[in-house]
Amino acid sequence: MREGMFRNISGCAISGIFSKSGKRFSGKSIIDSIAVMHERSNGLGGGFAAYGIYPEYKDYYAFHIFYESKSAKKECEEFIEEHFDIINLSKIPTRKVPAIKDEPLIWRYFVTPLPTKLADSQLDDKEFVVKCVFRINTRIDGAYVFSSGKNMGVFKAVGFPEDVGRFYRLEEYEGYCFTAHGRYPTNTPGWWGGAHPFSLLDYTVVHNGEISSYDANRRTIEMYGYKCTLKTDTEVIAYIFDYLHRKIGLTLKEICSVIAAPFWSTIESKPQKEREELEYLRNAFASLLITGPFSIIVGFEGGMMALNDRLKLRSMVCGEKDDMFYAASEEAAIRVIQNDLDRIWSPRGGEGVIVTLEGGKA
Amino acid sequence: MAVEYIYPDYEIVRDYDRCIVCRVCERQCANEAHEYLSDKNKMVADNAKCVNCHRCVSLCPTRALKIVKSDHTFKENANWTGKSIKEIYKQAGSGGVLLSSMGNPENYPVYFDKILLNASQVTNPSIDPLREPMETRVYLGAKPERIERDEKGRLINNLKPQLKLSMPVMFSAMSYGSISYNAHESLARAATELGILYNTGEGGLHEDFYKYGKNTIVQVASGRFGVHKKYLESSAAIEIKMGQGAKPGIGGHLPGTKVGEDISKTRMIPVGTDAISPAPHHDIYSIEDLRQLVYSLKEATGYTKPVIVKIAAVHNVALIASGIARSGADIIAIDGFRGGTGAAPTRIRDHVGIPIELALASVDQRLRDEGIRNNVSIVVAGSIRSSADVVKAVALGADAVYIGTAALIALGCHLCRSCHTGKCNWGIATQREDLVKRLNPNLGYKRLVNLMNAWKHEIKEMMGGMGINSIESLKGNRLMLRGVGLNEKELQILGIKHAGE
Amino acid sequence: MKYVIIGNSAAAVGAVEAIRKNDREGRIVIISNESYHTYSRPLISYLLLGKTDENKMKYRSDSFYSENGCELMLNKTAVRIDPDKKTVLLDDGQNVSYDRLLIATGSSPFVPPVKGLEKVKNKFTFTTLDDAKRLESVLEENTKVLIVGAGLIGLKCAEGISRKKVETVCIDLSTRVLSSILDEEGSEIIKRHLENNNISFFLNHQIIELSENTAILDDNTEIPFDVLVMAVGVRPNISLLKDIGGKTNRGIVIDERCRTSIPDIYAAGDCCECIDVSSGEMRVMALLPNAYMQGECAGMNMSGADYVFDKAIPMNAIGLFGKHIITAGTYAGDVYYEADQENYKKLFYSNNKLNGYILIGNIEKAGIYTSLIRERTPLDTLDFDLICKVPGLMAFSKEERACKLGGIA
Amino acid sequence: MKRVYVNEKWCLGCHLCEYYCAFASTNEKDMARALKDIRIHPRIRIEEKDGISFAVSCRHCDEPLCVKGCITGALTRKDGIITIDRNRCIGCYTCILSCPFGAVSPSEDGAIQKCELCIKTAGGTPKCVEGCPNGAIVFEERGE
């Protein structure tokens, strides 16, 4: 049994740090933060997303890929070469950590779509990348692309998150945003690809919770060409974000009004314009409403969003200090890295807290 | 001929110790099964006239009556059942097609009864509907493929006409003619109070009920009875009836005896004439023709109302539905083979069509596979008997359900399946004035409202148990379902796992 | 405000109850020449019959006066009214002042002058509780009672005393019994019924001379008796008003607000006469229901309301030895007639109106006929053929029924 | 005040109101035992003719002629409900003479009988209303 063969249900810890000024900082803080919530994980998965870490390759898609075998690697690389110009490839640097075992081959590629292939596909380059990622993940046995955005990367493994961080030498990276996840799956396949964050392009999702709308959401999002290979809530949420943000063009705030839509009674109490808009969003994208407990931190190029389900059935705290923004499952996970906060609060259910870089992209 | 004598199916049992000779049974039986013997000051009954509608049983103030199934029996066996034998006697006598009412009674699988629901434990909290909001509102109609914004970047409402329902249940098509004025009024008023919709069926709309238009679906069927501009305009939505679950491939027939003044006016046919709906629409011989009618109706109403296309669940229903989803229809209604009817040829009712559960599952999946599920809403009908059936249907992928028989039962129908006689003792499937008045809509509509509110409570309970607080998160959420006692193929079609998996 | 009521029967009670609807404060003084709590006069025959007792005869509960704040002056007779000073002089010499005065003095039995009447030792009238008590005290089994008058009072008396197994003979100048409320055929039915109950009649006769125990009739028939009851009729007590120049005929004349011709003096009950709407004529209608309703009307107007009672008609409900008679209105016009062994019905109508009716035996739903008379209902607004046969609401229009039964105005 | 209202549109002429009324005035728990082999004398009566039927019972008038005319004071109106003190009633039938609805009737024991809204027998919920299968008889407050 491995992830993707059945639906995986889990509880978790999440944390995120964001510098609004775009100032890059070391990955050490996010490890410290997630480590505090050790008890929320059970060693069966941890991971990080880091933004702004590849400034020298910021125009190229950074593919992070797990290989279970050399033959898988060979097959995959052939596919990549067929569709992309590979600017750089290397093993992702790791260090030996006793708690992290059975690691697959972990490779990184900086790529850009081959212009001829892209033109032939009649797709924009992002959609082209998405199609290729799905192709690898569904067709090439033993290969799994777990990160595919620009100037960002996902680092994940089976293990406690702090061990995973050390394993990937995360403290050696500098970025303007990090998110982290410690996993407590209630059934345990223990596959590296199943750890969080889940990502597609530059969208990453770390998630604590279990969404009861899962299959409704999954069957809907699959209609739009997404393949839910992992059968995890997080994967579905990531795809929904990608769909609504990138494909449909909703703003993050509007997305919050879809996936954590206000109750009808709340909508009806709003002024007419707002009411109509909320009603429209809820109706038009009804099947993308996510119910059940969740707290998520979504990372994307130039921004981060923290969101709770509309009943706030999972904990989540946000904090601010100067240009730094923090979000975590527990207050302690913020305090451990910044005790002197300007503000700390618990966002209401369904109320997305969105932070973006001042002046746009990094 | 002696062979034509068939022993009555039911026997009226009277407890003479309890009978106070109030004669209510006698007054209330339109079949005249009860008789008062004045010389003996005693009530007697003629079992042959009894249709087992329970009117007398229900009204007997001393509970002196009961109806039992006759234990009189043929020398039947598993092959030659009493029913088969009797039907042959009847047909050998009459030379005619056998007629029946209400839904398919035969022992085919009821898939709803082989599907179980999930509930949350530990990893995900169940939600208490008494403490937390629990939403059952649904909108029916096509959803947009893309958003549009105005010059200021604000979202533009580009939704096609939608139907707003407070819960995913509507009253299905039952024509004025097949059911009574008071039954229609009950349905119309209940729909209005509940914030759902009822359906006129193919018999037009009585002018008195135009005021319930916001909660009315008007039907356009092959007979086109009572279809005119005002009829279309008075509605919230228009339904093209292509087929009916109880009698796929068959038209309708309202006997002239039921076509009185009011019905004649409403249907726009002469008093006393038979109202015959042809089997097909004579202007629809292909999917293109359907598309033309869909757009004709939209054109006629200024594109302000959703158009529903109702079909019977038949073998290649998924394919048909796919065609309809591309025809411009906003909603597809699928009627399973257990759906009710005022009258249908027995063989058709009992042997044609497929179960709604399978039809729904395959249509929903097919439309998703084709990426057009959001083009249309799916409404299913054909024996939704309880809130659990509603929840299962929604989880299989339905946007809403239609209930017909359940609504009639709420109004007093006792499923005696004698609608075709026109002597409904409960004032539902009759046009006889003295019988029609037995259904007081002031009580009838309240019973419908009660039933729906009860179901709504139950739906909320079940949703809450699953950790879902809004019905849209239940729609198509097949992981919430598990099959029991189903084979691989059935599970595959239903798109659900077996219990224990 | 001080209200003074002379009289203590139905009209007085009606007035008190009405006054208290409008005025909880004003003083109410009731002057009665009897010694009793208000009682129902028509019940005296039932008292003799044993169907009621002195306690149950009380027309209102024991707490009636206290609950309604009434000052009761028993055993006092009003002698004279001074309308200028607005006082009433009593027989004991005291003056009772009033702001509004109601004369509810009722009526007194009329005793015709008969030669030798003074010789009769056991002679009675039959209108008051004291009358009944005195009469009862002299009755024994086989006592011969001669009742003069075969009207309501006489016959009810006959029924009342029948319990004592007395021998009753009834004599009347009229050719018929109950001549004031029945037609000939009706009278005959009742007469036969009474005779079957051992009452003997000498009709179309009068007494020309009395001795202590014998009456001699105009045909020289001698009728022995032990007890003589004079029940010829009653006369309204009008003198209080007549004496001060108020307008009177047979009774005190009142208008539809129960006002007399003298300011602040009202009158109600058996002492009055007013319009009988069934005939349009002024009449004395000495009936308890009318008395109450006139009293009520007077009380309402005395206490400041504007209230009209203009629906008085003659009407009677009477039972004699198990036979019930209900009659109302005036017996004039065309006749609907129906009769069998047990029952007798006559309806009198003209000019699209029901004027009166007589029911004997089956009296069910008689009130529906009464209302047609009272309300002067145009008969063409209902199914008159049907209502003649069966009194009921079925004869009215659907709309009228919806109004009556559905509270839909 | 709450009154019994009758809507002939919904009256089926089933006469159940009469039986429930008759039952209410007995002290039996079981209608069969109460009314078996008995000719009932209900306080509510159906009038019917040519397919029209309706029940008639005391309207509890605001200006009750029966109470005003009652020679014994046995009929009284309290809190809007007109009741009969059968102990005081001597059966003179003046109320039958007075009632414009024909809603007062003689009874077997000589006293009159009329609807008292079941306040003495069934705790004030009129049994005719409960027994009416079609809502033709209702007990409710209506603006008048």
Residue B463, pLDDT > 60, answer: yes
pLDDT value at position A11?
60
Q: Are B444 and B452 in contact (CB under 8 A)?
A: no
Mind telling me the catalytic residues of A?
12
- Per residue in B21-30, pLDDT tens? 999 999 999 9
Q: Are B438 and B59 in contact (CB under 8 A)?
A: no
CB contact under 8 A, D97 and C292: no
Residue C189, pLDDT > 80, answer: yes
Residue A2, pLDDT > 70, answer: no
Q: What is the percent of chain C where pLDDT is above 90? A: 97
pLDDT value at position A193?
84
How many whole angstroms separate alpha carbon B85 and alpha carbon B88? 5
CB contact under 8 A, B468 and A283: no
Q: Are C13 and C40 in contact (CB under 8 A)?
A: no
What chain C holds in terms of domains, given with CATH numbers, is 2-108+234-302 (3.50.50.60), 117-230 (3.50.50.60), 322-406 (3.30.390.30)
**Lowest-confidence segment of A235-239, C21-25, C220-224 by average pLDDT:** A235-239
Residuewise pLDDT in 10s, chain D (144 residues): 889 999 999 999 999 999 999 999 888 899 999 999 999 999 999 999 999 999 999 999 999 999 999 999 999 999 999 999 999 999 999 999 999 999 999 998 889 999 999 988 766 779 999 999 999 999 998 875
- Band of pLDDT at residue A210, cut at 50, 70 and 90: confident
Superfamily of domain B138-146+168-473: Aldolase class I (3.20.20.70)
CB atoms within 10 A of CB B35: 15
What chain A holds in terms of domains, given with CATH numbers, is 10-207+298-356 (3.60.20.10)
How many whole angstroms separate alpha carbon A200 and alpha carbon A301? 12
D60-114: CATH number: 3.30.70.20
Nearest residue of A to residue B124, measured between CA atoms: A210
- Band of pLDDT at residue A1, cut at 50, 70 and 90: very low
CATH 3.30.70.20 domain position(s) in chain D: 60-114
CB contact under 8 A, B159 and A287: no
User: Nearest C-alpha of chain A: how many angstroms from B477?
Assistant: 4
B139, B155, B373 member nearest A277 (Cβ)? B155
Token pair belonging to B40: 């003996």
CB contact under 8 A, D136 and B58: no
Domain ranges of chain B: 2-96, 138-146+168-473
Closest CA to B11 of B71, B89, B70, B73: B70
Closest CA to D138 of D2, D45, D25, D1: D2
Token pair belonging to C220: 């020289």
Contacting chains of B (3 CB pairs or more, <8 Å) are A, D
Specify the 3-state DSSP secondary structure of A334. Answer: helix
Residue C299, pLDDT > 70, answer: yes
CATH says B2-96 is which class? alpha beta
- Band of pLDDT at residue A362, cut at 50, 70 and 90: very low
User: Nearest C-alpha of chain D: how many angstroms from B152?
Assistant: 55
Token pair belonging to A170: 């995360």
How many whole angstroms separate alpha carbon A76 and alpha carbon B170? 53
How far CA C214 is from CA of B31, C119, C146, C228, C350, in Å, comes to 76, 10, 9, 9, 48
Q: Are C236 and C249 in contact (CB under 8 A)?
A: no
Specify the 3-state DSSP secondary structure of B321. Answer: helix
How many whole angstroms separate alpha carbon A203 and alpha carbon C360? 101
- Residue A83 CB contacts under 8 Å (≥ 6 apart), including other chains: A113, A114, A117, A128, A132
Contacting chains of A (3 CB pairs or more, <8 Å) are B
Nearest residue of B to residue D134, measured between CA atoms: B440
How many whole angstroms separate alpha carbon C166 and alpha carbon B34? 57
User: Nearest C-alpha of chain B: how many angstroms from D60?
Assistant: 25
Specify the 3-state DSSP secondary structure of D17. Answer: helix
pLDDT value at position D122?
63
Nearest residue of B to residue A249, measured between CA atoms: B147
CB contact under 8 A, D32 and B442: no
Average pLDDT over residues C122-150: 94
Closest CA to C358 of C386, C323, C383: C323
Residue B124, pLDDT > 70, answer: yes
Q: Looking at the complex, does the CB of residue C163 fall below 8 Å from at least one CB of chain D?
A: no
In DSSP notation, C143-209 reads: -EEEEE--SHHHHHHHHHHGGGT-EEEEEESSSSTTTTT--HHHHHHHHHHHHHTTEEEEES--EEE
User: Nearest C-alpha of chain D: how many angstroms from C323?
Assistant: 11
Q: Looking at the complex, does the CB of residue B437 fall below 8 Å from at least one CB of chain D?
A: yes
pLDDT value at position A3?
52
Closest CA to B159 of B301, B290, B306, B300: B306
- Per residue in B158-217, pLDDT tens? 999 999 999 999 999 999 999 999 999 999 999 999 999 999 999 899 999 999 999 999
**Chain-wide mean pLDDT for chain B?**
94
- Per residue in B246-270, pLDDT tens? 999 988 888 888 888 989 999 999 9
Residue B121, pLDDT > 60, answer: yes
D1-57+120-144: CATH number: 3.30.70
